[in-house]
Homo-oligomer: A and B are copies of this chain.
């Protein structure tokens, strides 16, 4: 059954696809020696022939027709770097149905259509690998899928969006507001012209959906993941958080304890001495707790042509090794043979418990603190720390509290009452604590 060559078809020659093409060409000899079979970039498809020229593809490799890959019986592995939902979904499903292994970096696709895609891969007995879909070059998908497979992963905290982390790092370093730093990030290429997808947390939610599926063997619905972005984070809150010994980071949070699974995306206060607080700029990291392994942190570059291509080609090597050994469907998509494309039901956010940072905008008059504390107390929320800054010249004064652990629904109930108090003049700012 052993093949003499493994042929790769590459769909898309954009930032990631172009990097994959370059890596496969530059290192063909080393990668083939690693595998013990010739690893060939047999065909690459893009709508812009100029990209193929720039990459110096060998004659006959480039095509503008994706069917030249999908219908070629000689191509063993399809790399999808087209991005987006369609036509990527149709291409991936077609490739799998034609018996080809698939490598994809497409987190939106897997987060939205993972059940269908993973079921198809299993039915066809072929491999699908997606290391690059979460955390760029960081070897976290395979670590969760295989190396840590003896564990029940009880929790994960991830910094999984480089744009948001860059913006929050700069806001912290410079005390500058979100809009100003976003503009800087756009100039430097760390943020898209339309940054919504990143700064509203959607991209992080996609990645969290994939992490959750690796941890549980079942797929959450994207809509079930409560998602808050970083657009409302202010220099004032970053400063108060810092005074309490915390940094503000956009986190993907997964809790998998006591039979309930919680998954959510939101900014959070991270203690200065937590390793995630040291993850700065465009870097990503996933902090994992396993019932046997304890704490593990996996850190690296979460995006960019070269790190992402490293992960994609690492996946190509895995699938190619299995193709060469005659066992193309050796590993189920999520590692476990028990996964049947199940849906994962998430616990409602109302039942989540954590500590909270609350900033109240209060009139500078006696008794406000007591009123706020009374309302919190009536919802069984106790206060761990409080700071009230000296009188302002005019306008409201900020009262900042860190609560003890409380139930989300209780906090929301208390805040509704508090924000209705006559002494509270702006909606209270709430940020969860990690």
Binding site for B on A (CB under 8 A): 19, 23, 27, 30-31, 33-36, 131, 137-139, 142-143, 146-152, 275, 278, 283, 285, 290, 292-301, 304, 306-307, 309-311, 313-314, 316-318, 321-322, 325-327, 330-331, 335-338
Contacts and interface: CB of A to CB of B under 8 A. Distances in A.
Main secondary structure, interface of A, reads mixed
A314 B150 contact: yes
7 contacts: A137-B148, A137-B292, A138-B296, A142-B143, A150-B313, A275-B299, A292-B306
B293 A311 contact: yes
A357 to B, nearest CB: 23
A342 to B, nearest CB: 13
Given A142-B142, A275-B299, A299-B297, A33 B325 contact: no
A317 B146 CA distance: 8
Nearest to A135: B296
Given A275-B299, A293-B137, A300-B296, A146 B330 contact: no
Nearest to A1: B327
Given A290-B310, A293-B137, A326-B327, A143 B146 contact: no
When A and B form their complex, which 8 residue pairs have the shortest distance between CB atoms, in order from nearest? Answer: A36-B337, A139-B147, A150-B313, A137-B293, A293-B310, A297-B299, A292-B310, A296-B300
B317 A292 contact: no
A310 B151 contact: yes
A317 B150 contact: yes
Contacts of A294: 137, 300-301, 304, 306-307
A386 to B, nearest CB: 29
Nearest to A277: B278
B310 A321 contact: no
Contacts of A36: 337-338
A296 B138 CA distance: 7
Contacts of A322: 330
Given A278-B278, A300-B296, A307-B294, A149 B317 contact: yes
A96 B306 CA distance: 39
Nearest to A305: B292
A325 B316 CA distance: 20
* Most chain B CB atoms below 10 A, which of A31, A138, A142, A316: A138
Given A295-B300, A326-B327, 17 more contacts: A19-B292, A33-B338, A131-B147, A138-B296, A139-B142, A139-B148, A142-B142, A146-B317, A148-B314, A149-B317, A150-B310, A292-B307, A294-B300, A296-B299, A296-B300, A297-B297, A299-B299
Contacts of A317: 146, 149-150
A218 to B, nearest CB: 13
Contacts of A300: 293-297
B150 A31 contact: yes
A214 to B, nearest CB: 12
